[in-house]
Structure 1
Amino acid sequence: MRINITPQQLAAFLRVAETLSFSEAATQLAVSQPALSRTIRLMEETLGARLLDRDTRNVTLTPAGQELRPIALRIVREFESSFSELSRFVTGQRGRVVIATLPSMAAVLLPGTIAHFRETRPDVDFQILDAHSGQVHDSVADGLAEIGLTAQPSPDRQLVYHPLLTDEFGLVCRKDDPLAEGGAVPWSIFGNRSFIAMSKGSSVRASTDAAFLQARLPVAPLFECSFLATARALVNARLGITALPGLTVPLMAESGLVWRRLIDPVLCRSLGVVHRAGATLAPATLDFIAHLRQEVRRRSAAVHEEGAVRPVEETAGSPPW
């Protein structure tokens, strides 16, 4: 037998069962007494059993009413709890943010962003998928991640891109390297020094290959590596120098390495947030992106090398983050 009784009807019954007074229950529920009586009568008709015995003086629970009371209490509490959880999700207080991200963005931007975010939203969980640019695009396109932090995808991908920052490429060397002194360095320097490259498929490798092509430099890497930590260690071991974007300046500085602007050509890349076209992002994710923009501004101000990292501010028509 299908019983069509709403949580609101059960809540009304419980109020009468608690007060044993239709007039008092109606006042507490902010409804008229006739309306409350109709609600109880409809419940009794639906159940096929009388729930309350009432006369001009007293209201008492029938055996069916006594049986219903704990059931109704359990259902109403579960209903209220469930919708409370839904409300917390809708307001971004609860949820799970799954991010596919470039390693440099993960290492430099995410720790501060998540720390600030969780000060007011401690019940939001994070899953971080570190990957190269193409893998980030694939993860978002395939639904494995809700958003990606990466370089701009090609136009044929069904992805929407919102720029966060531009960063400029620079040479990375040891502090005791002669190149550490002075100002900007031309890309031609890699023609006479051992070059440590990031692996093919990474956004950094695509950018450095483009720079060498533009500068007409036939540079063959002595080493190729997938992780920034490896490139950093190789430079520290005096095995060569490398070219990395300005976002990595804090990571290089931690190892005592120096970053110098590269010119002829000046090379910049755009980094931002990608998501699937037509996808509605979760409230917690939208709020996280707003915090991410704030972290980009903080990081830009903290990087002392001029122009290394520049935030891209929102424009008219930008999404609400």
Structure 2
Amino acid sequence: MRINVTPQQLAAFLEVAETASFSEAASRLSLSQPALSRTIRVIEETLGARLFDRDTRNVALTPAGHELAPIAARIVREFDSSFSELARFVTGRSGRVVIATLPSMAAVLLPGAIARFRETRPDVDFQILDAHSGAVQDAVADGRAEIGLTARPSPDRQLAYHPLMTDEFGLVCRRDDPLAAEAEVSWRVFADRPFIAMSPGSSVRAITDSAFLQHAVPVATLFECGFLATARALVDARLGITALPGLTVPLMAETGLVWRPLVDPVYRRSLGVVRRIGATLAPATLDFIADLRGEVHRRSIDVRLAGAIRSEGEAVVA
């Protein structure tokens, strides 16, 4: 049998049981005494049992009232706790943020942004799915991730895109390579040296293929790497040179490799946040995107400082 008694009615019952007074309970609840009496009468009629014995001077629980009291307390406590949790979620104080992301964005942008975010919102959890651009977009489109951090998707993906930053491409070579002495390098340098490519499906591969095709640069591709660490190791082993976006520079710290801007022409990729069109993002996710923009701004200052150091002749990526 379904019993239609609300948590608010049970809270009123508990107030009368605690105070043993309809007038005092009504005052605490900011209700008139007749309104409180009607509430108790509705509960009694619904349950089919009298809850209080009362006269002009005394109010006491009946056996049914004694039986109901712990049940009512548990229901009210659970109701308040559940809605408190919901309120924390709605205000972005709790929840789970699932992000699909390019490995470079995961390694460079997310750690600082998440650490700062959790300083004030420790109850927000994160799940990170790092993959190439196509897989990131698939994860968002399939609903496995709420947002993605990736390059601008093609229009046929039907994903909403919000730019965060632009990322310039550059040559990566060893510090003792003659090319390291150059302030900037033409894309045509790859016609004379073995090229270490990233794997098909990555945003980096799409841009390097486009650059070579558009400018008729014949390239001898030596390797196709799925991971930046592999490309870095191959360059360090003198097996070739590669082209990578500037966001990857911090991932090469202390390797002895250098990054030099590629020109004639300059290529940049747009990086941003993707989500499903029409999807409502969780409050914590919306707040995190705002914090992520702050992290991008902070990182852009770091990049400008790094650029100033490079312009003064520093060869090692820092």
1:286 aligns with 2:310: no
Following TM superposition, where does structure 1 have runs of at least 4 consecutive aligned residues deviating by more than 4 angstroms? none
Flag structure 1 segments of 5+ consecutive residues without an equivalent. 308-321
CA distance in 2, matches of 1:214, 1:183: 24
SS at match of 1:209: helix
3-state SS of 1:262 partner: strand
SS at match of 1:43: helix
1:70 aligned residue: 70
Distance 1:84 1:169 in 2: 48
Q: Distance in 1 between matches of 2:153 and 2:181?
A: 36
Question: Structure 1 residue 136: deviation in Å?
Answer: 0.7
Deviation per residue, 1:5-63 (Å, 9 max, x gap): 00000000000000101111111111111111110011111111100111110000000
Q: Which amino acid aligns with 1:138?
A: D
2:97 alignment partner in structure 1: 97
**Cα distance in 2 for residues equivalent to 1:2 and 1:199:** 61
Q: Tell me if the contact between 2:193 and 2:220 (Cα under 8 Å) persists in the aligned partners.
A: no
Q: TM-score, normalised by structure 1?
A: 0.94
Query: 2:134 — aligned with what?
Result: 134
Equivalent residue for 1:124? 124
Equivalent residue number for residue 209 of structure 1: 209
Aligned equivalents of 1:80, 1:19: Cα separation in 2: 21
Whole-Å separation in 2 of the counterparts to 1:218 and 1:193: 10
Distance 1:141 1:90 in 2: 24
What is the number of residues matched between the two proteins? 307
Moved more, 104-113 or 173-182: 173-182
Equivalent position amino acid for 2:191 in 1:
G
The match for 1:198 is 198
Match of 1:249 in 2: 249
Report the secondary structure of 2:219's partner residue: coil
Which residue is 1:46 aligned to? 46
Structure 2 counterpart of 1:76, which letter?
A: V
Question: Could you state the TM-score of these two structures normalised by the residue count of structure 2?
Answer: 0.95
Deviations 1:87-141 (A, max 9, x none): 1111111111111111111111111111111101111111111111111111100
Could you say which residue in structure 2 is the equivalent of 1:231? 231
Q: Is the 8 A contact 1:133 1:201 kept in 2?
A: yes
Distance in 2 of aligned mates of 1:136 and 1:254: 29
Secondary structure of the corresponding residue to residue 156 of structure 1: helix
Question: Is 2:114 the partner of 1:114?
Answer: yes
CA contact (8 A) 2:194 2:219 kept: no
Alpha-carbon distance in structure 1 between the residues aligned to 2:112 and 2:40: 55
Distance in 2 separating the partners of 1:24 and 1:246 = 70
- The match for 2:164 is 164
Aligned to 2:258, the other structure's residue is in SS state strand
Unmatched 5+ stretches in structure 2: 309-318
Report if the CA contact (8 A) 2:95-2:123 is conserved. yes
Q: Aligned to 2:157, what secondary structure does the other structure show?
A: coil
How far, CA to CA, are the matches of 2:301 and 2:70 in structure 1?
Answer: 60
